[in-house]
Chain A
């Protein structure tokens, strides 16, 4: 099994081209069994990269498919999909569509802001949509962690601490 993942980020949109994103997935797919000889040959032949950009993307999708086909189960996780440029997001979703059509045991996990739901549905009509809302328990856990890291714990007594953990999660969950 292989679990691959990417984080999209507004701050580094420049280097998050679709080809770089697929290339990063490919690198992770090679982690277990190493880089295949066929790819080494392509690399040696064209040390300066592939030809045109379109060819490169298609070629990469082909390489990702070939790599996935050798692994019993592959998960592709992409976090913050709303943070990549719209053009790249389209190309990425198209590439993923192509990949899962060819290899239906592949599982794709995406996360992002709600507004890209419709776009995802256009490519994957049956996609499962789950709203992420922090649970009261999650907020409590987070608060306790922050309180434990408090640099001046003596400034707070146990009552105040208990009050914080009791009141804040309930306020937040009502927002």
Chain B
């Protein structure tokens, strides 16, 4: 490990000990293909995703009771944002 990598790691730790990418990988590993795909078709979601929407609509809140699949929805959505395929 060179000096810059070492400093990078120190800075990352200093900013936050949380590692959401690890949790994200485990969520991805346990998801079922296609689950939550309905969200991508919703007009509210499509509007929200567009770059130029009203500034009031920058926040999207998906709510539901425990176990309905909110985490997996987010995971689906994240994947589709990253690939631009929605």
A contacts, CB < 8 Å to B: 1, 3, 5-7, 15-16, 19-24, 26-28, 34-35, 39-40, 43, 47, 49, 60, 73, 75, 77, 79-80, 96, 100, 104-114, 116-117, 120, 124-135, 137-138, 141-142, 145
Flag B26-67 by CB within 8 Å of A: 1 or 0 each: 010000111110110010110111011011111111111110
Summed over the interface, the residue pairs from A and B with CB atoms below 8 Å come to a total of 176
Q: A47 contacts which chain B residues (CB < 8 A)?
A: 14
CB pair A127–B18 under 8 Å, yes or no, is no
Assess whether B48 is in contact with A107, with CB atoms less than 8 Å apart: yes
Kindly name the residue among B18, B61, B74 whose own CB sees the greatest number of chain A CB atoms within 10 A: B61
Q: Do the beta carbons of A107 and B20 come within 8 Å of each other?
A: no
Contact B63 A28 (CB under 8 A): no
> CB within 8 A of A142: which of B14, B32, B55, B77?
B32
Q: What 6 A-B pairs come out closest when comparing CB atoms?
A: A126-B56, A23-B16, A132-B64, A23-B15, A127-B59, A24-B18
**B54 surroundings in chain A (CB, below 8 A):** 126
- In the complex, the answer to whether B61 meets A117 with C-beta atoms within 8 Å is yes
List of B residues within 8 angstroms of A109 by Cβ:
59-60, 62, 74, 77
A20, B13: Cα distance in complex, Å: 10
B58–A104 CB distance below 8 A: yes
Is B11 interfacial (CB 8 A cutoff)?
yes
Q: Decide: A129 and B63 in contact? CB cutoff 8 A.
A: yes
Instruction: Tell me the complex Cα distance, A129–B45, Å.
Output: 10
Given the known interface contacts A79-B70, A138-B35, the answer about A108 and B58 at a Cβ–Cβ threshold of 8 Å is yes
Whether B1 sits at the interface, judged by CB under 8 Å, is: no
A80 to B61, CA, bound (A): 11
List, in ascending order, chain B residues with CB within 8 A of A134's CB: 35, 68-69
Contact A110 B62 (CB under 8 A): yes
Interface assignment of B8: CB less than 8 Å from any CB of chain A = yes
Instruction: Return A131 CB to nearest CB of chain B, in Å.
Output: 6
| Other A-B pairs, 14, CB within 8 Å; known A5-B78, A117-B61 | A1-B81, A15-B18, A21-B16, A21-B18, A26-B16, A43-B7, A77-B77, A100-B58, A111-B74, A120-B59, A125-B56, A128-B59, A128-B60, A128-B61
Given A100-B55, A110-B62, A130–B39 Cβ distance below 8 Å? yes
